[in-house]
Amino acid sequence: MFKKIVLVATVLALCVVVLGAYVRLSDAGLGCPDWPGCYGHITVPHTSDAVTAFPDKPLETHKAWKEMAHRYFAGTLGLLILAVFVTAWRNRRVASPALPSALLILVIFQAALGMWTVTLLLKPVIVSLHLIGGMTTLGLLTWLASRRLATVSHPAIRPWALLALLVLACQIILGGWTSTNYAALACPDFPACQGMLLPPTDFANAFHLVRELGVNADGSQLSLASLTAIHLMHRLGALITFLYLGWFGSKLLKIPGLSFLGKVLLTALLAQVALGISNVVFSLPLAVAVGHNAGAAILLMVLVVINSNLTPKDK
């Protein structure tokens, strides 16, 4: 039962991450101006009810339903993680309750971040933390789900596998910051940026965390140079990630028991690079942008499974 709940929760966590990206990229993050309901209701209300509850916030039904669908999925995931927590504590010989306990704490914090995302009007640092929290939840659930797989004894590769996971995590953070600041099209061309190799950049304001969406810390408009700096850092991170994960995946191809995961990693990596370039070349189509977020989640899951396979089960 524990394994089944964890597997269902892992699949649902992937769906929540992808659905969250869809909501954000379709500009529906504020489809409901309150939390956890929508215009004071547990579902999307009629227009007249919405006007009564929030007269200064016009109801856009299609955006509201996207936001509420994400909340329903996230709420169901929270209940499944609670079930994982309870099952682990009741059957401690089957699974240690340490990780399920951490997951429960994380999902409670995620709920708070979801609320602050709305109440603080898509503040970049809050939205980025919400994305990172979602990916972390997915990674921990994947780890739990993969712990019963056979272990491959190859201690020499374990540090490189952990570094691969760390490199990807840093790139996901850069990608989240790019997305939440709407900097994906600051460079509308590829491989150049604005027709130059080194366009004007403003790193000082680009990575200032305590500010509102679209403005600097002093309240002035966030410049194109700042958005360009964010975008270029994501590109640099993508290059480093591609080179390192490509090298790491090629090493896995030579290791019995890990060659299949190496193929999966390299395939997912190439698809992710293609989606990233397509985002720029085709001006951020919604399907491609959501696919790029899904690709990052899949890469994370693959690397977690690889690290799990390389970690002795008694540790």
Alpha carbon distances (Å) from 47 to 43, 54, 237: 12, 10, 45
**Rounded CA gap, 187 and 196, in Å?**
10
Q: Which residue in this structure is represented by tokens 């019995």?
A: 256
Q: Any residues with CB less than 8 A from the CB of 224 and at least 6 apart, and which?
A: 186, 200
Tokens of 236: 């640099």
Tens of pLDDT, residue by residue over 173-221, are: 999 999 999 999 999 999 999 999 999 999 999 999 989 999 998 999 9
Catalytic-role residue among 19, 33, 67, 301: 67
Residue 40 DSSP one-character state: T
**3-class state of residue 47 by DSSP:** helix
pLDDT in tens, 258-314: 999 999 999 999 999 999 999 999 999 999 999 999 999 999 999 999 999 998 765
The residue-averaged pLDDT of 160-171 equals 98
Phi-psi label, residue 182: left if phi above 0, alpha if psi -120 to 50, beta otherwise: left
Q: Of 145, 111, 112, whose CA–CA distance to 2 is shortest?
A: 145
60 is catalytic: no
Domain ranges of the chain: 1-148, 153-315
Other Cβ atoms within 10 Å of 220 Cβ, number? 9
The predicted structure's pLDDT at residue 315: 43
Residue pair 309/258 in contact by the 8 Å Cβ criterion: yes
Q: How far apart are CA 275 and CA 112, in angstroms?
A: 31
% of the chain exceeding 90 in pLDDT: 89
Q: What is the pTM of this model?
A: 0.95
Whose structure tokens read 């890990």?
Answer: 258
pLDDT digits (tens, 9 = 90+) for 24-45: 999 999 999 999 999 999 999 9
Q: How many other β-carbons are positioned within 10 Å of the β-carbon of residue 209?
A: 12
Q: Would you give the DSSP letter of residue 178?
A: H
**Contacts with 28 (C-beta within 8 Å, 6 or more apart), sequence order:** 60, 62, 63, 64, 66, 67
Over residues 55-97, the pLDDT tens digits come to 999 999 999 999 999 999 999 999 999 999 999 999 887 778 9
In the prediction, which pLDDT does 148 show?
67
- Whether residue 152 has pLDDT greater than 80: no
Separation between Cα atoms, residue 63 and residue 30, nearest integer Å: 8
Confidence class of residue 124 from pLDDT cuts 50, 70 and 90?
very high
Location of structure tokens 């699974």? 95
> For 41-63, b where at least 16 C-beta lie within 10 A, e where not — what string?
beebbeeeebeebbeeeebbeeb
